[in-house]
Amino acid sequence: MNQSTTEYQQRLRNHAREVGHSLRRCYVDLFYADEVQRLPQGGRVLDLGGVRKSSMPGRFDIDHFPLDAVCLNILASANPHVIAGGDALPFGPATFDAVICSEVLEHTRDPQAVLAEAWRVMKPKARLLIAVPFLYQIHASPHDFGRYTDFYWRGALESQGFVVERLEKQGLYWSVMLDFIRLPIDRAAGTTRSVIWRKFLRAILRWPMAWARVWAVRTDAKLSVQQHPTLSTFTTGFGIVAYRPAAD
């Protein structure tokens, strides 16, 4: 394991210790924190389906970076700069230096149409950062339409003309299982009517769940396709880095 991989695993374990996070959220946060730093300072970035000033802890916040970010969402409750759908972007061609699409494409009926629009508004050499869930609960915001494999995403991007630079699994079998186990526990604690009892449950579960998240991350890091061909096929989702190549 090289130093960069070791450092990433340590940061991931530290993030996983935080209370209230799913491992899915930990992987997504670190993916964007790393990739957004590689974007040109002051670059114009479209946060497609983003949420401005989210009150939810542990969520990646693009406003913390030196970028000219434009947030677009179909929901007014997301407090976006622009209210519009991802399949009909109200921007001219070659407008943005990068497009971010975080946990959004599963909420679109036609992901290819959204990717085509992203291509249209991106400048040559602009980067596209995507995070999408795979083995994850159905969730509506406002709707949830699909879970697709890494084979699908690579094909969908390449058919639009994108070059896929990296397509990574975000957690493997144990991360998936831990998030599945965590959900009913959190829901049970959150729906308890007594405020005192709810606080007590969350207090006693805090450290066991933090330890379990760290254990899952560490154990997944040791899985390999050769030694664990089945366990390594599971994932919470994918982090994808692609770009629009320079014009000929």
Residue 151 pLDDT exceeds 60: yes
Helix/strand/coil for 83: strand
Helix/strand/coil for 127: strand
On whether the CB atoms of residues 8 and 30 are closer than 8 A, the answer is yes
User: Per the structure block, which two tokens stand in for 98?
Assistant: 């990068």
4 exposure class (CB count in 10 Å sphere: 0-12, 13-18, 19+): exposed
**For residue 8, what pLDDT is reported?**
81
**For residue 205, what pLDDT is reported?**
73
As a whole number, mean pLDDT of residues 29-45 equals: 93
Least confident of 82-96, 140-154, 230-244: 140-154
pLDDT in tens, 95-145: 999 999 999 999 999 999 999 999 999 999 999 999 999 999 888 777 899
**For residue 56, what pLDDT is reported?**
54
199 or 37: which leads in pLDDT: 37
As a whole number, mean pLDDT of residues 64-86 equals: 92
d(CA 234, CA 13): 19
As a whole number, mean pLDDT of residues 78-103 equals: 95
pTM for the complete prediction? Answer: 0.89
Helix/strand/coil for 205: helix
| 122 DSSP β-pair partners | 96
| 59 DSSP β-pair partners | none
171 or 7: which leads in pLDDT: 171
Residue 7 pLDDT exceeds 90: no
Domains of the chain: 20-173+233-243 (3.40.50.150)
187 or 27: which leads in pLDDT: 27
d(CA 175, CA 220): 7
| Arithmetic mean of pLDDT over the chain | 88
